[in-house]
Amino acid sequence: MIPVKGYAGAKVAVLGLGRSGLATARALIAGGAEPLLWDDSPEARDKAEAEGFTLTDLGRANAFDGVTSLITSPGIPHLYPAPNKILARALEAGVPVDNDIGLFFRSFAASDWDDFETMPRVVCVTGSNGKSTTTALIHHILEVAGRPVQMAGNIGKGVLSIDPAQDGEVVVLELSSYQTDLARALTPDVAVFTNLSPDHLDRHHGMGGYFAAKRRLFSEGGPDRAVIGVDEVEGQFLANQMGMGPQDDRVIRISSGQKLDQFGWSVFARKGFLSEWRKGRQVASIDLREVSGLPGAHNHQNACAAYAACRALGIAPKMIEGAFGSFAGLPHRSQLVGERGGVRFVNDSKATNVDSAAKALQAFPRIRWIAGGMGKDGGITALQPHLGAVVKAYLIGHSARDFALQLGKTPHEICETMAQAVARAAAEAEAGEVVLLAPAAASFDQYPNFEKRGDDFVAQVQALIGG
């Protein structure tokens, strides 16, 4: 645990009692603060009381009298589409609002660091797609390299639940736009921006607000190194803002598809090969084509981001290359579930939007595509240019019939359930093809989350092929 500093003897309100909220409450107590806990959900309140916490109704009159700060969970709206009513009262009362990420950066450094030979470092990863894979890959590379490392944030533990730092340790944090938007302190040593595509637009009131939330990771504290994907104009703009010119190697530009040989430091992947360039010359190259845990151009971008972050931490190219080979990937993100008769089964349940589904559809040459669920605005119309590898689509869930109307000439079948879709795709698939779950939709019509949807796919496949 990281005890929260700066609030000893103070009353600190905590709104939202999920994983991060309860971890925050424990860390506040460890730092000598008095947390006042509340959640709009009776189930969450019951869980907190079962752990021994006392609840305080933050919705009552004068609830914020004497309160030093309000710490809110990332899922609670603070501005758009409208602030949570309790959070709005804190804003009206002038009570500073923060989150666990802000508390972490205020509290992570400790007095015993004076005795360390190598200062601990913090790497933060944000962006629209690939955050989790990039974060996990950085963590994996550092483990292989023998560096003490912890992973937290939007993946793994809550940030205040990690252990105090060891000599030379690296903490790798995945941060969503909800987390970067509100944190009052953001001071990573290395900050990574993977890419940007439309998502959470209601929460950020459009693309401008969404990008602004991501940009705060770079603008608030100023990282020593900024690793920035430049395949969209927002990344190009951010790289321009962070650097003093094209040769400023404090900015490492990354790309999947572009040759970036004119900058002070860049890492890019083209035709399956990752290249590192510094000051006009290539210094390293890695063949990514046979790295089973990182299939497709989107994962090659993730590889570039992780490679650049680890190079910024001093890890040698050969060490990174070896770690790529042993990276198994993450569940629900281009996860190879199994193979039968030359047919591979891949679980990409995390592909909940059109952009991430498009990347998955470009990763394999011949695809039996399982898609559907609770479709988002626009459905899958934007996927038309990416359907060339789809042999046939098998559609499930609430939006199955809407998706069928948007597939054009692509062969398809409405299957309704995951079990039927897996059975039909497996029965028709031929050697060399991939049965791919990449839903391009939310899961909430049939499953509580994308993980449960992916778990169902895995269970159906394993029952079919044995495993």
Q: Among residues 47, 58, 125, which one has the least CA distance to residue 90? A: 58
User: Distance between CA 190 and CA 306 in Å, rounded?
Assistant: 11
Q: The domain containing residue 67 runs over which residues?
A: 11-98
Question: What DSSP string describes 1-27?
Answer: --PPPS-TT-EEEEE--SHHHHHHHHH
Q: Is 375 among the domain residues?
A: yes
Q: Which of 325, 355, 371 is the last residue of a domain?
A: 325
How many structural domains are present in the chain? 3
Neighbours of 118 (CB within 10 A): 14
- Return the percentage of the chain with pLDDT > 70, whole number: 100
Same domain, 317 and 345: no
Same domain, 76 and 119: no
User: Distance between CA 374 and CA 377 in Å, rounded?
Assistant: 10
Same domain, 343 and 452: yes
Query: What three-state secondary structure class fits 416?
Result: strand
Q: Which of 325, 354, 388 is the last residue of a domain?
A: 325
pLDDT tens track for 94-152 = 999 999 999 999 999 999 999 999 999 999 999 988 899 999 999 999 999 999 999 99
Same domain, 356 and 435: yes
* Residue 271 belongs to domain with CATH number: 3.40.1190.10
Same domain, 319 and 369: no
Q: Is 2 among the domain residues?
A: no
For the CA atoms of 174, 226, 188, 145, the dihedral, rounded to the nearest 10 degrees, stands at 70
Q: Give binding residues for ATP as ranges.
A: 127-133
Q: What is the pLDDT of residue 467?
A: 59
pLDDT tens track for 234-292 = 999 999 999 999 999 999 999 999 999 999 999 999 999 999 999 999 999 999 998 98
User: Distance between CA 400 and CA 372 in Å, rounded?
Assistant: 5
Same domain, 204 and 295: yes
Same domain, 259 and 403: no
Sheet of 121-126, strand order: 149-153, 170-174, 121-126, 190-193, 225-229, 251-256, 265-270, 273-278, 281-287
* Residue 46 belongs to domain with CATH number: 3.40.50.720
DSSP 333: B
DSSP 121: E
Counting as low any pLDDT under 70, the low residues of the chain are 467
